[in-house]
Chain A
Amino acid sequence: NAGVTQTPKFQVLKTGQSMTLQCAQDMNHEYMSWYRQDPGMGLRLIHYSVGAGITDQGEVPNGYNVSRSTTEDFPLRLLSAAPSQTSVYFCASSYDRISYEQYFGPGTRLTVT
């Protein structure tokens, strides 16, 4: 199993550009989520999904869109990048809810200039 994979590892965007951060898992996990981590901060939940076709907002959803068309994939879209979105983004998955171990991807480091 590859576990949770994220692409790209690094990305630099200009303000106003859009892009999609990719996340995939091969463990047949129902629950997937996106977090951002800023310097000196804990992880903050952006969006999550409890299964294909079902998504919901987390703590900091503004400026981001998600969709879940398959169990395996959970892409995160930045519609119009802003410098405040400079962060490290982590995707995670688990069999079900948080009581099950969440597996995190290695992260995508995004810089918006």
Chain B
Amino acid sequence: DQQVKQNSPSLSVQEGRISILNCDYTNSMFDYFLWYKKYPAEGPTFLISISSIKDKNEDGRFTVFLNKSAKHLSLHIVPSQPGDSAVYFCAASAGGAGSYQLTFGKGTKLSVIP
């Protein structure tokens, strides 16, 4: 039973446009969420996080939105660049930012077309 779901295995976007990656979760105990980016043959790298006490967090071109009532979060990348082409994983924890365990989604492969 997948507690963190990324229902789109892949997404293609033109360079300069907005990329929106979606993530749904089922465990109402989750209260801290993270996005990781992964290039082939490399380990994941941390991108951005959000606590359940917020509904938005921005870092440069990356913004994460959290809708707790819908148990949904999304990652917006504006503007998208070819270097953003990677697999993006959504992850969640229960126990807040002090937790030690993360539950990951299956990932969405983003392709940014020049």
Give min CB distance, B34 to chain A, whole Å. 7
Whether A41 sits at the interface, judged by CB under 8 Å, is yes
Among A40, A50, A104, A105, find the residue whose CB has the most chain B CB atoms closer than 10 A. Answer: A104
Contact with B along A100-113 (1 / 0, CB 8 A): 01111111000000
Size band of the interface chain A makes with B: 20 to 34
A58 to B97, CA, bound (A): 17
A90-B43, A92-B43, A105-B43 known; A98 and B104 CB under 8 Å? no
Provide the residues of chain B in CB contact with A31, threshold 8 Å: 100
B97 x A42 contact (CB < 8 A): no
Whether A99 sits at the interface, judged by CB under 8 Å, is yes
- Besides the contacts A43-B91, A104-B44, A107-B42, what 14 more A-B pairs have beta carbons closer than 8 Å? A31-B100, A40-B9, A43-B89, A44-B104, A48-B101, A50-B100, A56-B100, A59-B101, A98-B32, A98-B34, A98-B97, A98-B99, A99-B96, A106-B42
A41 to B97, CA, bound (A): 24
Contact with B along A5-38 (1 / 0, CB 8 A): 0000000000000000000000000010100000
Chain A residues in the interface with B (C-beta under 8 A): 4, 31, 33, 40-45, 48, 50, 56, 58-59, 90, 92, 97-99, 101-107
Give min CB distance, B91 to chain A, whole Å. 8
A43 x B42 contact (CB < 8 A): no
B106 x A41 contact (CB < 8 A): yes
A40-B106, A43-B104, A48-B100 known; A104 and B89 CB under 8 Å? no
Partner among B42, B46, B103, B106 whose Cβ is within 8 Å of the Cβ of A101: B46
A59 to B2, CA, bound (A): 12
Which 6 pairs from chain A and chain B are nearest by CB? A104-B43, A99-B97, A42-B104, A101-B46, A43-B104, A42-B106
